[in-house]
């Protein structure tokens, strides 16, 4: 039932319009496909979660012999029309169904997917890419993106508190401070997806997780725990912790054709606060009460991200941190 609702949400044109209008996302994928054109041209490609089929069409433009474009939402029927409209029906085969259920009668040379969710792992679509890799990818095949890293850092964001919480102190001359506890609960109980800037970040980030799409196993994604130790670069209130991710588009390390290549700079899609904004923005875990930090003050602890037992596409997040001689749990 959860998956039915999930795939139904991706049938809405607005979701795909937002992703296609994300220039950083879409142009980086196109650049990565063209960068690896020698590994795609004349090859068979599998697009996991193809949406409108834009990545499949990019691969066809790069010379792929055949592209299997798979999507479980009804947007697949629109993808079929788009493929026909671009006169690519002889190259791009759109399959409507979950990747775990569709029938593909040949191995593929390339798997491409835009599987990343908020905080990298929300929606848990990486598991479908792993399934496709283990079932259909030829040895030494190409996976795009190839690697991913999830980062976190403490942040200050007084404006967010002012807009959501302190607003209630005086509403058209009426005192409403009694609303503040409820406002904090509603605003900060769950993670918030929003855009911050590099100026909000108090320290260098810590790596929470690193994913190698060529080797990662699905069970490794069920629970991820990372320790952190930050040193504040500013005297400022600590309002919460931000998470963001990067993905890289590297070729298979052991591929003979990849070894022949001249080393070059990796193509990276970043959702970091200091980079151009994307539709993923950043994921914020706000504290109910800010903590006043001094410059060089230490914040240390651990974060655990686990798939929900009730619905694996959802995440549970447990944050434990120590600063100023006191432990906190979020």
Residue 35 lies in a domain: yes
Burial class (CB in 10 A: 0-12, 13-18, 19+), 292: exposed
- Write down the pLDDT at residue 2: 67
Query: Are 314 and 192 in a shared domain?
Result: yes
The span from the CA of 226 to the CA of 110, in Å, is 32
Query: Are 84 and 171 in a shared domain?
Result: no
Q: Cβ(75)–Cβ(103) under 8 Å? A: no
Q: Is the dihedral of CA 247, 113, 310, 134 positive or negative?
A: negative
Tokens of 328: 């906190």
Name the CA dihedral angle for 187, 193, 199, 205, rounded to a multiple of 10 degrees: 110
Query: Are 201 and 65 in a shared domain?
Result: no
Last residue of a domain, one of 114, 135, 162: 114
pTM assigned to the model: 0.93
Query: Are 318 and 188 in a shared domain?
Result: yes
- What's the CATH number where 76 sits? 3.40.50.150
What are the start-end ranges of the E strands in the chain?
Answer: 44-48, 66-71, 92-96, 108-113, 137-144, 147-155, 192-194, 206-212, 223-231, 236-248, 268-270, 282-293, 298-307, 315-323, 326-329
| 323 DSSP assignment | E
- Write down the pLDDT at residue 124: 81
Query: Are 56 and 109 in a shared domain?
Result: yes
- Write down the pLDDT at residue 261: 53
Query: Are 289 and 159 in a shared domain?
Result: yes
Q: Cβ(22)–Cβ(279) under 8 Å? A: yes
Structural domain of residue 152, as residue ranges? 147-329
Last residue of a domain, one of 96, 114, 132: 114
- Write down the pLDDT at residue 260: 55
Q: Cβ(115)–Cβ(99) under 8 Å? A: no
pLDDT tens track for 141-169: 999 999 999 999 999 999 999 999 999 99
Domain count, the chain: 2
Query: Are 95 and 168 in a shared domain?
Result: no
- Write down the pLDDT at residue 7: 79
Q: Cβ(296)–Cβ(231) under 8 Å? A: yes
The span from the CA of 155 to the CA of 40, in Å, is 41
Query: Are 28 and 86 in a shared domain?
Result: yes
- Residue 203 CA: distances (Å) to CA of 17, 116, 143, 228, 318: 35, 25, 33, 11, 20
Regions of the chain short of the pLDDT cut 50: 255, 258, 262
Residue pointed to by tokens 């591929």:
255
Query: Are 11 and 80 in a shared domain?
Result: yes
Active-site annotation holder among 114, 222, 289, 292: 114
- Write down the pLDDT at residue 264: 56
Q: Is 123 one of the catalytic residues? A: yes
Query: Are 260 and 306 in a shared domain?
Result: yes
Residue 123 lies in a domain: no
Active-site annotation holder among 123, 190, 222, 289: 123
Max CA pair span of the chain: 72
Q: Is 274 one of the catalytic residues? A: no
Tokens of 152: 């976190």
Query: Are 107 and 176 in a shared domain?
Result: no
Query: Are 86 and 233 in a shared domain?
Result: no
Three state DSSP letters for 169-231:
HCECCECCHHHHHHHHHHHHCCCEEECCCHHHECCCCEEEEEEECCCCCHHHHCEEEEEEEEE
Q: Cβ(148)–Cβ(214) under 8 Å? A: no
């Amino acid at each position: 039932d959860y998956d039915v609702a999930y795939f139904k949400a991706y049938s809405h044109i607005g979701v795909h319009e937002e992703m296609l209008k994300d220039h950083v996302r879409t142009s980086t994928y196109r650049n990565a496909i063209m960068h690896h054109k020698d590994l795609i041209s004349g090859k068979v490609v599998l697009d996991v979660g193809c949406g409108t089929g834009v990545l499949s069409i990019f691969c066809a433009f790069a010379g792929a012999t055949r592209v299997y474009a798979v999507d479980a939402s009804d947007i697949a029927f629109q993808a079929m029309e788009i493929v026909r409209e671009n006169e690519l029906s002889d190259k791009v085969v759109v399959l409507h169904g979950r990747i775990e259920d569709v029938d593909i009668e040949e191995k593929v040379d390339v798997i491409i997917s835009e599987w990343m969710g908020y905080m990298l792992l929300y929606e848990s679509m990486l598991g479908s890419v792993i399934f496709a890799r283990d079932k259909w990818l030829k040895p030494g095949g190409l996976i795009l993106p190839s690697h991913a890293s999830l980062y976190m850092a403490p942040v200050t964001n007084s404006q967010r508190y002012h807009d959501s919480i302190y607003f209630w102190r005086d509403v058209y001359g009426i005192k409403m401070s009694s609303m503040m506890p409820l406002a904090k609960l509603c605003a900060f109980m769950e993670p918030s997806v929003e855009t911050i800037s590099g100026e909000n970040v108090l320290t260098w980030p810590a790596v929470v997780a690193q994913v190698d799409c060529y080797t990662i196993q699905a069970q490794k994604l069920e629970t991820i725990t990372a320790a952190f130790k930050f040193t504040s670069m500013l005297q400022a209130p600590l309002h919460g912790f931000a998470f963001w991710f990067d993905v890289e588009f590297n070729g298979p390390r052991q591929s003979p054709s990849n070894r022949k290549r001249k080393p070059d700079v990796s193509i990276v899609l970043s959702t970091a606060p200091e980079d151009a904004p994307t539709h993923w923005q950043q994921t914020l875990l706000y504290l109910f009460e800010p903590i006043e930090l001094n410059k060089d003050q230490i914040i240390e602890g651990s974060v655990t991200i686990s798939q929900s037992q009730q619905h694996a596409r959802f995440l549970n997040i447990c944050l434990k941190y120590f600063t100023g001689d006191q432990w906190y749990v979020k």
